[in-house]
């Protein structure tokens, strides 16, 4: 499987190359970046449904079960994440071609963007704890810089807050890794899981606590969510879409799920804690989102709430729960990116993000209005859009596992989300035109293309739950997480 | 008084002359650390930061104009990219079938097992060290220049 | 005992991040936290009365294996230090830019000035 | 001799408290550098010369950068804490975590006994036994860094690259323009 390291090497190479050639020529940067993301997307599509493969860097194949080097693991879960990341990044780069004309230094923007993609791909593929930390830092540092890319007051302030909390999170994670190393003498996830074997002592639980708080900070689960409502709205719209759509999921939820389920083992206590965290995020996120006047802040709070669903499903630990959670993860990536791109288009056209100044935009911006309506209906869980199916199956999974309380909360939050998004639609796109709707600029073509593409995906994505698609895409990913410590058996070949 | 940390024209002639001499020694020492990184303590990172220190010393004692004339920011930025690309290319070369077929293969050592304790005994380690030293040295120089001289640069324009 | 002291250093840094309002103090606290973790990792690999993990010609292989410290944590720390430097550089860049805008390092005043 | 290490850590804790609590920003910066040099001495003490070389220079650089950031004319040096109630809650929380962690830390291997001696399957055992033969590098830290775990090092170089890119992007003079305007130079 020679293709595996290229998932990281191609975006890295492009990121190093673009600032050298593209400083004077923004169109060249557009072209190179779009080619790179397109190539990554095609590569990700080409590995769907493949058997799990392990790639040992530098040819250090383990002898006598001792892994010497770093390994990359391409199993169902990694493939799932790679497809999600590359799908969103492809559509976002198409959008950025014309949106980012409003900013200077396009070459640096694209370089940082590709570094972020490379970091996320690295996190999704790696089978080594410390390597996970390194690539997590690449993605995080690139995102800190991208949040502050506009260099205005609130952007700098939001980025500083994000950076400080993000570094605290990274340090907690590194501490957790150090404790794990001190107990096992290894950094290879598979070897650690065979050494610990699911037998968690108090010190391991301490490491788990460090991991949950560290990755919880990165994923903005509720007690740790303070940075997200500042950071996500401040970034340029394509970056907001990437951050809410895939970054918090890859370096937060995916990494947490991988370490806790596959490496350390899920005990009933940990499972309960994760589910409670998910439920709190769900409820608090949607309540805070109701009162927002800034369209992007509104979407950011709703991200917290929707991520809560994913965490709840993963915390259940059953096959149906995990599969439904992953289904919701990719759905949320699609519709939240779409909604953030819509808000960017609205800001581009009207120059404001304040909902009180908008109104009646549907006639002025038909494409944005229509795609935003589709995105809102999908996130609110109206059939037949994709969001309905994933929420339904998360609730069913809760019922199946006899967690009726959690199921009730999930259903209730879904109703609140519907109310919140209908209100958003009414204030922004329907109703009487207000001052900002008067002078409206045209939304450029590349932005429309990517919004329409995402809106179509919102409708089509529901088909992923059909038996055929489910068997090739979702179930292999869910199986990896659900089988837990069996992870070691196919990585080390024992 | 406090804005004298980086004086535009540099410090006194005595300081300049001495540091000109010292700078050469620092550079040579840094290069030694890089090249023998696989045998003695040090390596690309240690050597790279030492080389960067030589430039920092020059900036501090001779002023920013002199330093930026020797090492313009644009060139430093390009070299930053070149160092990173070089390391990636060393890794990618290992992917080609003739040289081992995996990312990051130490193909030189495997093709020709050298005697230990020699300059060339580490295979690609030596090349990687050089690439990293280039990368680290230019990066640290850029960090220093940007963060320490930022305000001077802005002030000059006002 | 030693690990506990190391943890205490970590906690001092965490306290600073959570409590202080000055941007420079927050950066300092982050640096302290990172140092604590770095020392912790190297401590994990230390062997009492050990030698540095660097061979020379005069040394016998067996004696070396019996007395050397663990090289892996040292390699990890080297990586972690450089990552820490990168984060610090970014933080200082943002803090200086904020200072330029607001003329203060106080978080509360920055929030007040936003308007 | 292990007591020396304890004393060094104690010194670092005191310097850290001084750095965080002192009213003078310049003194705080210098104290944090004292912590940094404590770390370097600890590295030398723990037989890690490779690791110690890098922070010596990095500390100096951080010192210069932070002094540059703090030395301003008319800078108000003392800025208080957040409110009293929050302070108490934070202190209590940290104290509880600390007490819990101390009890748990008994289960770690004793200081001075590396984990590789108790775990026969640890990769470090192979590194120290066969590292010279397999990689040709006598400095095993370099062997781990650039051969066994070279992929990490690529990541590390990338982190540095990303932070430089980010720092340049953040401090560029002009960030926004009209869509029709041409690209402006950064410096």
Cβ-Cβ contacts under 8 Å, C40 against chain A? 175, 178
Q: Which two tokens stand for residue C93?
A: 């860049």
Query: Under 8 Å CB-to-CB from A197, ≥6 apart: which residues?
Result: A265, A485
Asked if residue A317 has pLDDT above 90, the reply is no
D167 within a domain of the structure (yes/no): yes
Q: Is D180 domain-assigned? A: no
CB contact under 8 Å between B117 and C57, yes or no, is yes
Residue with the bigger pLDDT between A461 and A42: it is: A42
Domain assignment present for residue A205? The answer is yes
Is residue A195 in a domain?
Answer: yes
Q: Would an 8 Å CB–CB cutoff place D187 in contact with chain B?
A: yes
Which residue in chain C has the smallest CA separation from D61?
C85
pLDDT of residue A204: 92
A 10 A CB-CB count for A255 gives 26
Whether the pLDDT of residue A295 is over 70: the answer is: yes
Interface of D with B in 36-65 (CB under 8 A): 49-50, 53-54, 57-58, 60-61, 64-65
Give the pLDDT confidence of C19-59 residue by residue, as tens digits.
888 888 899 999 999 999 999 999 998 888 888 888 877 77
Query: Closest partner residue to C82 among B40, B45, B151, by Cβ?
Result: B45
Q: Is B117 on the interface with C (CB under 8 A)?
A: yes
Question: Nearest-CA neighbor of C105 among D17, D66, D70, A154?
Answer: D70
CB-nearest partner of C89 from B40, B143, B151:
B143
Residue A434 in this model has a pLDDT that exceeds 80: no
Please tell me which chains touch D, using 3 or more CB pairs under 8 Å as the contact test. A, B, C
Alpha carbon distance A261, A326 (integer Å): 14
Confidence band of A17 (pLDDT split at 50, 70, 90)? very high
Note whether residue A1 is domain-resident. Answer: no
Q: What is the mean pLDDT of residues A315-326?
A: 91
Mutate to test the interface with D, among B88, B146, B150, B154 (most CBs of D within 10 A): B146
CB-CB neighbors (< 8 A) of C100 in chain B: 151, 154
**Interchain CB contact of A151 with C (< 8 Å):** yes
From A1-15, A77-91, B56-70, D117-131, the region with the lowest mean pLDDT: B56-70
D137, D159, D167, D174: which to substitute to probe chain B, counting the most B Cβ within 10 Å? D137
- Inform me whether the C-beta atom of residue A167 falls under 8 Å from chain D C-beta atoms: no
Kindly report the nearest CA distance between residue B13 and chain D, in angstroms. Answer: 22
Residue-range definition of the domain harbouring residue C16: 2-113
The arithmetic mean of pLDDT across residues A101-105, rounded, is 86
Which residue out of A132, A178, A183, A217 would a mutagenesis test of the C interface target, given it has the greatest number of C Cβ atoms within 10 Å? A178
Tell if the CB–CB gap between C111 and A157 is shorter than 8 Å: yes
Assess if residue D98 is contained within a domain: no
B42 interfacial to chain A (CB closer than 8 Å): no
Q: How many domains does chain C have?
A: 1
Helices and strands (H, E) in chain A, number of each type: 23, 2
Chain C to chain D Cβ contacts (< 8 Å) = 252
Higher pLDDT, B22 or A63: B22
| Percent over 70 (pLDDT), chain B | 75
Q: Sort out which chain B residues have CB atoms less than 8 A from A12's CB and list them.
A: 88
User: Which chain A residues are Cβ-neighbours of C46 within 8 angstroms?
Assistant: none
Residue D163 structural domain = 115-171
Beta carbons of C14 and A168 less than 8 Å apart? yes
Task: Sketch the domain layout of chain B as residue ranges.
Answer: 2-157
Of A426-440, B47-61, C60-74, the least confident? A426-440
Which of A150, A12, A33 is CA-nearest to residue A91? Answer: A33
C91 touches chain D (CB under 8 A): no
- Supply the mean pLDDT for chain B: 77
Domains: count for chain A: 1
pLDDT greater than 80 at residue A413: yes
A116 touches chain C (CB under 8 A): no
Q: Give the best residue of A141, A156, A165 to mutate against chain C (max C CB count within 10 A).
A: A156
Q: Can you give the pLDDT at residue D87? A: 83
* Among C residues 94-113, those touching chain B with beta carbons less than 8 Å apart: 96, 100
* pLDDT classification of A412: cutoffs 50, 70, 90: very high
Radius of gyration, CA atoms only, chain A: 21
Q: Which residues of A touch D151 (CB under 8 A)?
A: 57-58, 69-70, 131
pLDDT of residue A82: 94
Q: Are residues D122 and D63 in the same domain?
A: no
Is the CB of C98 less than 8 angstroms away from the CB of A175? no
H or E element that contains A134? helix A129-147
User: How many alpha carbons fall within 13 Å on the CB side of residue A333?
Assistant: 26
Residue D86 falls inside a structural domain: no
Do residues D66 and D124 share a domain? no
Contact assignment for B38 to D164 by CB distance below 8 Å: no
In this prediction, residue C64 has a pLDDT band, given cuts at 50, 70 and 90, of: confident
Average pLDDT, chain A: 90
- B111-122 b/e (C-beta count within 10 Å ≥ 16 → b): eeeeebeeeebb
DSSP secondary structure code for residue A247 in this structure: I
Instruction: Assess whether D63 and D122 both reside in one domain.
Output: no
Closest Cβ opposite residue A156 in set C44, C87, C98: C98
Of B19, D5, A106, A464, whose CA–CA distance to C47 is shortest? D5
- Name residues whose C-beta falls within 8 Å of residue A459's C-beta, 6 or more positions apart in sequence: A374, A378, A384, A385, A386
- In this prediction, residue B1 carries a pLDDT of 34
- CB contact under 8 Å between C27 and D86, yes or no, is no
pLDDT of residue A209: 93
pLDDT number for residue A300: 93
Per-residue CA distances from C88 to A234, A381, C94, D27 (Å): 22, 43, 10, 19
pTM beyond 0.90: the answer is yes
Asked if the model's pLDDT at residue C114 lies above 80, the reply is no
Q: What is the pLDDT of residue A181?
A: 93
> Which residues from A are below 8 Å from D179, CB to CB?
98, 101-102, 444
Chain D residue at shortest CA distance from B43: D142
pLDDT given at position B10: 64
Q: Find the farthest-apart pair of alpha carbons in chain C and give their distance in angstroms, rounded.
A: 70
Cβ distance A238 to A92 under 8 Å?
yes
Cβ–Cβ < 8 Å for B96, D117: no
Neighboring chain B residues of D145 at a CB cutoff of 8 Å: 43
Q: Cα angle vertex B104, ends B101, B106, to 5°? A: 85
- pLDDT reported for residue B158: 45
Q: Is the pLDDT of residue A484 over 90?
A: no
Quick one: pLDDT band at residue B97, thresholds 50, 70, 90? low
The model's confidence at residue B109, banded by pLDDT at 50, 70 and 90, is low
pLDDT beneath 50: ranges in chain D: none
Is residue D121 within 8 Å of residue A66, measured between CB atoms?
A: yes
For A163, the closest of C33, C83, C94 (CB atoms) is: C94
What is the least distance, in Å, from the CA of C24 to any CA of chain D? 8
Q: What is the number of other CB atoms lying within 10 angstroms of the CB of residue D89?
A: 12
- Residue of C30, C42, C104 to mutate when probing chain D, most D C-beta within 10 A: C42
Checking if the pLDDT of B2 tops 50, the result is no
Name the 3-class secondary structure at D37: helix
Q: How many domains does chain D have?
A: 2
Higher pLDDT, D14 or B114: D14
Determine if the peptide bond prior to A15 is cis (ω within 30°): no
Quick check: B94 pLDDT over 90?
A: no
State the count of interchain CB pairs (< 8 A) between A and D: 165
Hey, are the CB atoms on D16 and C32 less than 8 Å from each other? Answer: yes
pLDDT(B156) > 70: no
H-helix segments, A47-105: 76-99
From B94, which residue of chain A is nearest by alpha-carbon distance? A58
Pure H helices in chain D: 2-21, 25-45, 49-70, 84-104, 115-118, 123-135, 140-143, 150-170
CB C54 to CB B41 under 8 A? yes
Task: Check CB contact under 8 Å for A9 and B103.
Answer: yes
Of B41, B117, B150, the CB nearest to C96: B150
CB contact under 8 A, B81 and A57: no
- Indicate the helix (H) or strand (E) that contains A18: helix A6-21
CB contact under 8 A, B150 and C78: no
**Interchain proximity D166–A112, CB inside 8 Å:** yes
Q: Note whether A191 and D121 are within 8 A (CB).
A: yes
Picking from B150, B153, B157 by the largest number of C CB atoms within 10 A of its own CB, the best residue to mutate is: B150
Interface of D with A in 137-166 (CB under 8 A): 147-152, 154-156, 158-159, 161-163, 165-166
């Amino acid at each position: 499987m020679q293709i595996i390291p290229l998932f990281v090497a191609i975006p890295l190479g492009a990121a190093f190359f673009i600032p050298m050639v593209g400083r004077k020529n923004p169109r060249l940067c557009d072209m190179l970046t779009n080619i790179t993301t397109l190539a990554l997307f095609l590569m990700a599509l080409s590995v769907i449904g493949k058997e799990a493969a392990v790639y040992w860097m530098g040819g250090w194949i383990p002898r006598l079960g001792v892994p010497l080097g770093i390994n990359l693991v391409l199993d169902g879960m990694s493939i799932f994440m790679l497809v999600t990341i590359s799908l969103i990044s492809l559509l976002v780069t198409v959008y950025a071609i014309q949106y980012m004309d409003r900013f200077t230094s396009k070459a640096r923007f694209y370089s940082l963007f590709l570094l972020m993609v490379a970091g996320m791909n690295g996190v999704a593929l790696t089978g080594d704890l410390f390597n996970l930390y390194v690539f997590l830092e690449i993605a995080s540092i690139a995102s800190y810089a991208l949040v502050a890319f506009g260099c205005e007051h609130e952007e700098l302030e939001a980025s500083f807050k994000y950076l400080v909390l993000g570094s605290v999170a990274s340090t907690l994670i590194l501490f957790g890794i150090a404790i794990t190393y001190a107990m096992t003498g290894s950094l290879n996830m598979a070897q650690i899981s065979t050494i610990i074997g699911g037998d968690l002592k108090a010190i391991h639980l301490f490491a788990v606590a460090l991991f949950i708080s560290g990755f919880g900070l990165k994923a903005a689960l509720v007690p740790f969510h303070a940075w997200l409502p500042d950071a996500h709205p401040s970034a340029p719209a394509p970056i907001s879409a990437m951050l809410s759509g895939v970054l918090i999921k890859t370096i937060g939820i995916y990494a947490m799920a991988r370490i806790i389920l596959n490496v350390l083992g899920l005990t009933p206590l940990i499972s309960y804690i994760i589910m409670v965290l998910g439920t709190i995020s769900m409820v608090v996120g949607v309540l805070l989102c109701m009162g927002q006047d800034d369209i992007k802040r509104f979407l950011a709070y709703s991200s917290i709430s929707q991520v809560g669903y994913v965490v709840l499903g993963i915390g259940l630990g059953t096959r149906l729960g995990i599969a439904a959670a992953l289904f919701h993860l990719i759905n949320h990536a699609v519709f939240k990116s779409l909604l953030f791109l819509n808000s960017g288009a609205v800001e581009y056209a009207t120059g404001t993000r304040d909902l009180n100044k908008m109104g009646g935009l549907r006639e002025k911006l038909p494409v944005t209005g229509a795609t935003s309506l589709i995105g809102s209906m999908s996130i609110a869980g109206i059939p037949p859009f994709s969001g309905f199916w994933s929420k339904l199956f998360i609730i069913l999974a809760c019922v199946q596992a006899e967690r009726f309380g959690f199921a009730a909360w999930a259903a209730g939050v879904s109703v609140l989300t519907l109310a919140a998004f209908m209100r958003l639609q009414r204030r922004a796109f329907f109703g009487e035109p207000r001052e900002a709707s008067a002078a409206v600029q045209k939304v450029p073509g590349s932005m429309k293309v990517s919004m329409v593409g995402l809106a179509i995906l919102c409708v089509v994505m529901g088909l992923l739950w059909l038996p055929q698609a489910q068997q090739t895409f979702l179930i292999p990913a869910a199986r990896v997480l659900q089988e837990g410590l069996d992870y070691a058996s196919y990585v080390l070949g024992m | 008084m406090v804005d004298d940390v980086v004086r535009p024209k540099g410090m006194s002639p005595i300081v300049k002359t001495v540091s000109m001499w010292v700078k050469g020694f620092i550079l040579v020492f840094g290069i030694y650390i890089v090249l023998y990184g696989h045998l003695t303590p040090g390596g690309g990172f240690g050597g790279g930061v030492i080389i960067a220190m030589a430039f920092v010393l020059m900036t501090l004692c001779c002023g920013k104009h002199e330093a930026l004339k020797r090492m313009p920011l644009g060139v430093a930025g390009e070299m930053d990219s070149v160092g990173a690309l070089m390391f990636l290319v060393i890794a990618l070369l290992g992917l080609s079938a003739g040289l081992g077929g995996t990312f990051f293969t130490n193909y030189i050592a495997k093709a020709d097992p050298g005697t230990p304790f020699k300059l060339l005994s580490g295979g690609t380690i030596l090349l990687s060290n050089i690439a990293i030293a280039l990368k680290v040295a230019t990066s640290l120089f850029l960090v220093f220049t940007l963060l320490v001289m930022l305000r001077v640069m802005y002030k000059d324009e006002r | 005992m030693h690990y506990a002291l190391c943890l205490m250093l970590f906690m001092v840094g965490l306290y600073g991040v959570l409590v202080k309002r000055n941007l420079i103090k927050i950066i300092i606290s982050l640096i302290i936290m990172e140092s604590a973790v770095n020392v912790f990792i190297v401590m994990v690999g230390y062997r009492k009365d050990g030698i540095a993990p660097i061979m020379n010609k005069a040394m016998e292989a067996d004696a070396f294996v019996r007395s050397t410290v663990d090289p892996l944590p040292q390699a990890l720390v080297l990586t972690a230090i450089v990552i820490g430097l990168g984060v610090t550089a970014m933080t200082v860049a943002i803090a200086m830019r904020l200072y330029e805008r607001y003329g203060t390092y106080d978080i509360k005043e920055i929030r007040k000035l936003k308007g | 001799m292990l007591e020396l290490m304890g004393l060094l850590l104690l010194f670092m804790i005191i310097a850290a408290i001084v750095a965080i609590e002192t009213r003078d920003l310049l003194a705080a910066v210098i104290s944090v550098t004292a912590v940094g040099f404590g770390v370097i001495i600890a590295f030398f003490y723990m037989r890690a010369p490779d690791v110690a070389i890098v922070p010596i220079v990095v500390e100096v650089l951080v010192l210069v950068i932070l002094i540059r950031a703090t030395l301003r004319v008319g800078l108000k040096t003392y800025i208080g804490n957040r409110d009293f109630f929050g302070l108490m809650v934070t202190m209590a929380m940290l104290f509880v975590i600390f007490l819990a962690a101390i009890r748990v830390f008994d289960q770690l291997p004793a200081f001075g006994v590396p984990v590789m001696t108790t775990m026969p399957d640890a990769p470090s055992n192979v590194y120290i036994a066969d590292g010279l033969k397999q990689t040709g590098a006598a400095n095993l830290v370099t062997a781990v860094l650039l051969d066994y775990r070279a992929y990490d090092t690529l990541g590390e170089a990338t982190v540095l690259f990303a932070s430089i890119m980010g720092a340049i992007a953040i401090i560029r003079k002009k960030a926004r323009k009209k869509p029709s305007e041409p690209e402006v130079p950064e410096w």
